Structure 1
Amino acid sequence: MTVNPVQLQKFLGGLDYPVGKEDLLRRAQERGADTAVLETLRSLPADRFNSPNDVSEAVGKLR
């Protein structure tokens, strides 16, 4: 199950882009993301993201 992109962004705020998937996972874990959020991030097909919008678009494609 994927999470809402807006919900996801609350765990990723403050990141300097571009970032890798591991950076996204690390930030989400630091901010207390639950298992659903972490699994969604792990499922993203890209390994690098240039902006928060790139992350949101990738999450939207998982649905």
Structure 2
Amino acid sequence: MADMPNPIQVQKFLGGMDYPVSKDTILKTAKDSGADQPVLDALGNIPDRQYDGPNAISHELSVNN
């Protein structure tokens, strides 16, 4: 189990997204915002589905990393 990035830190990289969003959009937004590799790795581990808000993403990060 990798060290999970701080959810607040992750959300800083995901600001400005219009929900719902796909996993691909989440990863692209984080990468474009300069997220570091641990954040990208954690986001890469979430299920490939639509997310309806930041809390849904944070929840998946907590259960999948």
TM-score with structure 2 setting the length: 0.88
1:26-54 Cα offsets, whole Å, 9 max, x none, are 00011100110101011002421001110
Q: Which residue of 1 aligns with 2:53?
A: 51
Q: How many residues align?
A: 63
Greater shift, 14-23 or 53-62, is seen at 53-62
Q: What is the deviation of 1:62? A: 2.5
Task: Say what the alpha-carbon RMSD is for the aligned residues.
Answer: 1.1
Q: Which residue of 1 aligns with 2:22?
A: 20
What secondary structure sits across from 2:35 in the alignment?
Answer: coil
Gaps of 5+ in 1: none
Aligned 8 A contact 2:19 2:52 in 1: yes
More helix by share: 1
In 2: Cα distance, 1:45 partner to 1:4 partner: 19
How many percent of aligned residue pairs carry the same amino acid? Answer: 41
